């Protein structure tokens, strides 16, 4: 059985959903864990981030590359449109 490890922290629910969708589509095994706790009304999300993504260690580099692609915008899209 592959060793599962925490790969990256997720900033919000949208980022988590997008990563989940992409990884599922590519057949990469993973689990997303939210830090939301109803007893503390989301207190941990304010201090620790929205949650994290876990996966087998062998997929770490591929997942990090996908995350970089998802969270960065090309320079030509970053500016105002004329």
- What the chain holds in terms of domains, given with CATH numbers, is 4-70 (3.30.70)
The 10s digit of each residue's pLDDT in 18-53 is: 999 999 999 999 999 987 665 655 565 556 678 899
Question: What percent of the residues of the chain are helix, what percent strand, and what percent coil, each to the nearest 5?
Answer: 50, 20, 30
With H, G, I as helix, E, B as strand and everything else as coil, classify residue 14.
helix
Q: In what order do the strands lie in the sheet with 51-56?
A: 4-10, 51-56, 31-34
* Predicted structure pTM score: 0.76
Instruction: Point out which residues pair with 52 in neighbouring strands.
Output: 9, 33
Which pLDDT score is estimated for 71?
86
């Amino acid at each position: 059985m592959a060793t599962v490890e925490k790969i990256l922290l997720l900033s919000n629910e949208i980022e988590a959903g997008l990563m989940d969708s992409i990884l599922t589509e590519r057949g990469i095994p993973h689990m997303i864990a939210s830090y939301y706790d109803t007893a503390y009304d989301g207190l941990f999300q304010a201090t620790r981030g929205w949650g994290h993504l876990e996966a087998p260690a062998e997929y770490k580099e591929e997942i990090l590359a996908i995350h970089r692609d998802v969270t960065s915008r090309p320079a030509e899209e970053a500016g105002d449109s004329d």
